Amino acid sequence: MRRPVARVIPGIVLLALGGGLAQLLAGTVVPINELIVAVGLGALLANTVGTPAWAKSGIATHKLWLETGIVLMGARIAIGQLFSVGPALLVFVVGFLTISLVIGEAIARNVFRINERLGSLLAAGYAVCGVSAIVAVSGSVRAKSEQIAYAVATILLFDAATLAVYPIIGRRLELPDIVFGTWAGVSMVSTGPVVAAGFAYSPQAGEWATVTKLGRNVFIGVVAVLYAVYYARQRDTGQAGGASWRYLWEEFPKFVIGFLAMAGIASLGLLSSDDVALLTSGYQGLFLVAFVGLGMEIDLRKMRSVGIKPVLVVFSSLLVVSLLSLLASMLLFG
């Protein structure tokens, strides 16, 4: 046990130092939200001096810190508030997840005519939760390693782009917090950038963006199973390889359960105001650490190597879904 722990500590310390520096710079030097600064610092380090070999194991834990932070954030979410918009939010999430999948597949196959399996990876990656969805679906579609790498690089490109652009658009349009949060949560790509963009806009927008994005994440197992069934039938094997309840549970993002449990505990009045304040400070600190690691995943060289067609597929899907979901969010929640 000691060796694995010792191996991750240096990278975790580097993440923590980056988070502290981001907080310092955002408050004194750079007039930008500290989470955006944290992502920028991570990307700057990764694309200049590179990620130190001794820190890689620890830096890889940044997803754990993000998920833990989301669980703690549940203490600030009132279940009653969610129920008040629950049916509309559920329809909003499921509707646009379906629209995103259909549009992504249609554009990939009929407009740009790229490889069917690569198109499915891009559609699932955009519609559900980015790289995690690509990995989950890759086995179902029997994708080749280079197709997976291509899809991942494309998605990471749009993670970086939307993280920078969405808050700017939201402020120009003067969107209410709930409208921006639900719009970002349903039309951006990966969980990290969605949370970062939401909180860069406002704390309330960050909470709504996170809740909406978690709603999408829940369906990762369902989408993986559906793709497994489709491609298994296409191969005419009579086997829905991987399409089982066990597979669905394996792909389900478990931290969502922790988030809902924490929200339930808080809504029952089992946490004092001091407890909530402590947990709020905790998740804010964890987000800072996580977003430094998120930035260190941005590899500009890999992004430059991505061909134009996958980029155009995701860009076209993003453009259509973003416009439609913005209008729907303004009608439902504005």
- 208 pLDDT more than 70: yes
- 264 pLDDT more than 90: no
List pLDDT tens digits, range 14-49.
999 999 998 888 867 766 778 778 888 988 898 888
232 to 116, 141, 263, 312, 329: CA distances (angstroms): 14, 8, 39, 28, 36
Query: How distant is the alpha carbon of residue 175 from its chain centre?
Result: 21
Instruction: Please give the pLDDT value at position 85.
Output: 60
Rounded CA gap, 166 and 177, in Å? 13
List pLDDT tens digits, range 148-204.
777 877 888 898 899 889 999 999 999 999 999 999 999 999 888 898 899 999 999
- Decide if 299 contacts 71 (C-beta within 8 A): no
Nearest to 124 by CA among 145, 146, 148: 148
List pLDDT tens digits, range 141-159.
887 767 877 787 788 889 8
pTM flag (> 0.75):
no
- 273 pLDDT more than 70: yes
- 74 pLDDT more than 70: yes
List pLDDT tens digits, range 95-142.
999 999 999 999 999 999 888 999 999 999 999 888 778 877 877 788
Rg of the chain on CA atoms, in Å: 20
Task: Specify burial of residue 227 (Cβ count, 10 A radius: 0-12, 13-18, 19+).
Answer: buried
Count of residues in the chain? 334
